[in-house]
Structure 1
Amino acid sequence: MGTIHTGVVKLPLTVRDMTEADLPELACFYPGHVMATMPAELERARTGVVDHLVVCTPAGVPVAKGAVNWDEIPGAGVISTLSVRAELRSIGIGTVLIQASEERMRARGLSRSEIGAEENNPRARALYERLGYVVYGCEPASWDEEKPDGTLGRYETTCTLLRKDL
């Protein structure tokens, strides 16, 4: 059997606004019905009600995406739709995305960030709490989800609500 080599590789990541050119890469980790909404979401970004951010490798390939909604909660930016490519999770990319989102909030003069974590996603909640977010409530949530047969159905869950003073 051959020798197994291990090591650490550090890559500089950049965070920028999502563009139409990113959509083919994002299709790798978003289902088709979500991808169908992306052109409309880019239009919403052009109107200033949301920022869609991507984290990119040095080659410019998006490996994570998230959004900051500016009009959902007065005085706060709301981080949503966070996703990191499955094979790159738990190495700090989500942290980079959240911190970049918080920087944008500060640049707009906001003093609070809010985020929700599905109750069945303890890893997300643990990340948010490590980054200084504090639970303040919970609420029901729902969205369309693709079923195994390809049809859409309504997914219903409960989200833990967290906030952080910036």
Structure 2
Amino acid sequence: MRIEDCSVEDLAVLDHFMPSNSVDGNHRARFARQEAGDSTYLIPWLDDRPVGHAEIRWTGCAAPEVRAARPGCPELNGLLVWPESLRSRGIGGALVRAAEQRAIARGIGLMGLGVGEDNPRAAALYARLGYRPTAAYVDRYAHLAADGERHECADPCVFLVKELSLPGRSVKPS
């Protein structure tokens, strides 16, 4: 498996293998944020097929509760391993580690991510990787139904944070 930053050539392949109905989390929107310098859109590849994605939002989480609790903390957003049959095989953990490496390369000693209260499996993975609860918040997003109708969603979540070890600097427990 390899993990690469998304390229414009990847967009059609992503749409084919992992169509998205998210309004602001679709592949083109994530790639546009990457092109603007606001994020890095990571794609894991297995046998020349995309098997997931994750976006590092260098601008941080949009939720005001999280911004107040952890100002300036980049957010790993939209982590997905697809198809589901590939979950629990290390791809999600590899995406998290790839995001951490990119943050360290930028001199950033912190990474955060949100997890839905109804997703204990993902929460267990993040805990194993060293992420600790910081703030409760509601993740608000929109998606388009098959008929094109927009649906607003609000999911209770917890924002988790991990202190990263920067070269030449020790990590303080949070």
TM-score of the aligned structures, taking structure 1 as reference length = 0.82
Asked which structure has the greater CA Rg, the reply is 1
1:70 is matched with which residue?
A: 58
Aligned residues with identical type, % of pairs: 31
Q: Counterparts in 2 of 1:51-66, with a 5 A limit?
A: 51-57=40-46, 59-66=47-54
Q: Which residue of 2 aligns with 1:123?
A: 121
The alignment partner of 1:54 has SS state of strand
Q: Is the 8 A contact 2:3 2:95 kept in 1?
A: yes
Q: Is the 1:68–1:79 Cα contact (8 Å) retained in structure 2?
A: yes
Among 58, 69, 87, the alignment partner of 1:89 is 87
Residues 54-85 of structure 1, C-alpha deviations (whole Å, 9 max, x = no match):
0111x322111001011226543210011110
Determine which of 11, 19, 25 is the counterpart of 2:7: 19
Alignment of 1:1-166 (within 5 A): 13-27=1-15, 28-34=17-23, 37-57=26-46, 59-72=47-60, 74-85=71-82, 86-147=84-145, 151-166=149-164
Aligned to 1:9: none
- Whether the aligned pair in 1 keeps the contact of 2:22 and 2:144 (CA below 8 Å) is yes
Give the equivalent residue in structure 1 for 2:63: none
Distance 1:35 1:136, change over 3 A: closer
Instruction: Compute the RMSD of aligned alpha carbons.
Output: 2.1
CA shift digits 1:88-119 (9 cap, x unpaired): 11111000100000000000001111000011
Q: Partners in 2 of 1:75 and 1:36 — Cα distance?
A: 21
Assess if the C-alpha contact under 8 Å between 2:25 and 2:78 holds in 1.
no
- In the superposition, relative to structure 1, how do residues 121 and 149 fare at CA in structure 2: closer, same or farther (>3 Å)? farther
Gap runs ≥5 in structure 2: 61-66, 165-174
Distance in 1 (alpha carbons) for counterparts of 2:14 and 2:44: 11
Give the whole-Å Cα distance in 2 for the aligned partners of 1:144 and 1:43: 18
Q: Is the 8 A contact 1:31 1:146 kept in 2?
A: no
Mapped contact 1:68–1:77 kept (Cα < 8 A): yes
Aligned length: 153
**Per residue, is there more strand in 1 or in 2?**
1
Q: Equivalent residue of 1:48, what SS?
A: coil
TM-score under structure 2 normalisation?
0.78
Which piece of structure 1 moves more, 86-95 or 138-147? 138-147
SS of the residue corresponding to residue 104 of structure 1 reads helix
